[in-house]
Amino acid sequence: MTAQTTSATSELSVDVLVVGWGKGGKTLAATLGAAGTRVAMVEQFDQMHGGTCINIGCVPTKTLVHDAEQRREDDDAQQFWARAVSRRDTVVSTMREVNHHMLADLDAVTLIDGRARFTAERTVEVTGGEDVLMVTAPVVIVNTGATPVRPDLAGIDAPRVHDSTSLQHVDPLPGRLVVIGAGPVGLEFASMFAGYGADVTVVNRRERLLPGEDEEVAAGVTDVLEDADVRILHSASAERIEDGPDAATVVVRRDGDELRLEAEAVLLATGRRPATEDLGLETAGIDVDARGAIVVDEHLRTSAPGVYAIGDVHGGQQETYLSLDDFRIVLSQLQGDGQRTTTDRVAVPTTTFLSPPLAAVGLTRDEALAAGHEVLVAIQKVASIKAMPRPKTVGDPRGLVMFVVDARSDQILGARLLHVDAQEVINLVALAMRTGTTATQLKNGIWIHPSSAESLNETLGKLAPVTA
């Protein structure tokens, strides 16, 4: 069975209206639609069915990261890149189709392609071509995600300047890439393109990478990138971009000097902001903050009755799995006891997919000390951990492991894992933090051999006190 599709219909009334096909929105629409609730899903672009993660974000970029790690020195860089992009597109196309049918095959769900804008409380006008559709519902979910920030920089409209979406299809593979910005997206792409053979330079306006992390972690990430021949310019700012016949030139100011960096491609990786522009939020009485993020309470309710905001559009950490948890919170409001809130979230992990990845959860050492904890810390380089053969067996023993533990309670306060499989091991650490599992219990755990989790046995046995 196929969902209804609307084009010429002028009015539609449903039980729940979801604007934006992201992780939380599509899961909510599928769950409610399967139970018979009449749901309308509005998505501006047909190539975004399924949301950012599977189409232009997590899935395609991590597919490209994986393939970059498989390239050998004698592989032709251009051919290898072309094959990787083709595989990326196949993965995305397959997942998009699955996600489309996740809603399209539900009779209670109506799919609408078009641009939505509020015209009143819980009423949106959807335009697609010459068609206009007015959709009303007692419950509205805003799930429009985030868009790349475009800095006020002369020359950013040049054809060789990309964001994280367009760079995934750059053709040919640039021999030289300049990355403006050293956040997670910038560092992931720098690591990835270095893996494909590009000469990469990162323009970092701060004095070091990852200023919110402890110095040892930032130094470990710097070592990993420099080992991959990524050049990092600290305390540097891009002033303008000049387009030329064969390359773009990024003009950079550093320590009072002007540097001119030529590159076949430039990546703007200066952050993402909530996608709330021209949604007509003020008409619906929906408040936003100074960055344009929709203001919500702990139940994800906006200032407009019956309207919720989920995912990146309400600001904060931009993670697909938090959008999924947003779905659980709203579902609790609509069909449950309404008790689930954002305050329930404890020890939420993150990963920056370098090669190898950096995974993090909880407090840094400096944050723990500042909070008044009596702190135990263990730091080991992966290459020196005897009871961690997994990275060595796969040929990448780079990185480090760092734990911060409360000396009095033996509770884990935070961890930073920079190594092969870090994105998996961090989930175990986060679960330990949520459930009150102690550092001693993790240290004495029985873990698969060989695995990266075995680092817990050795590293947590090296905890030592530190002071501010």
The set of catalytic residues is: 449
Which residue bears the tokens 């993660």?
53
Structure tokens at 233: 């310019």
What is d(CA 87, CA 93) in angstroms, rounded to the nearest whole number? 10
446: Cβ contacts below 8 Å, ≥ 6 apart: none
Strand duo 257-263 + 115-120: pairing: unpaired
- Could you give phi then psi for residue 122, rounded to 5 degrees? 60, 30
The tokens for 364 are 């840094």
Q: For 88, what's the count of Cα atoms within 13 Å in the CB-facing half-sphere?
A: 26
The residue type of 405 is V
Rounded to whole angstroms, the Cα distance separating 23 from 329 reads 13
Q: How far from chain centre, in Å, is Cα 35? A: 31
- CA distances, 266 to each of 70, 183, 249, 255, 262 (Å): 24, 15, 9, 22, 9
Q: Directed axis angle between helix 320-335 and helix 23-34, to 10°?
A: 30
For 81-230, list the strands marked E by DSSP: 109-113, 115-120, 123-128, 131-136, 139-142, 146-148, 161-162, 176-180, 199-203
Query: Tokens for 369?
Result: 């000390």
Q: 281 in helix, strand or coil?
A: coil
Q: Which residues of 235-245 are buried (b: 16+ CB within 10 A; e: fewer)?
A: ebebeebeeee
Residue 334: half-sphere exposure toward Cβ, Cα within 13 Å: 25
Question: Tokens 């009449």, residue?
Answer: 38
What are the DSSP calls for 87-126, one per residue?
HHHHHHHHHHHHHHHHHHT-TTEEEEESEEEEEETTEEEE
Cα angle, residue 273 at apex, residues 272 and 279 outer, rounded to 5°: 140
Query: Which residues fall within 8 angstroms of residue 189, CB to CB, at 6 or more apart?
Result: 61, 164, 167, 177, 179, 267, 269
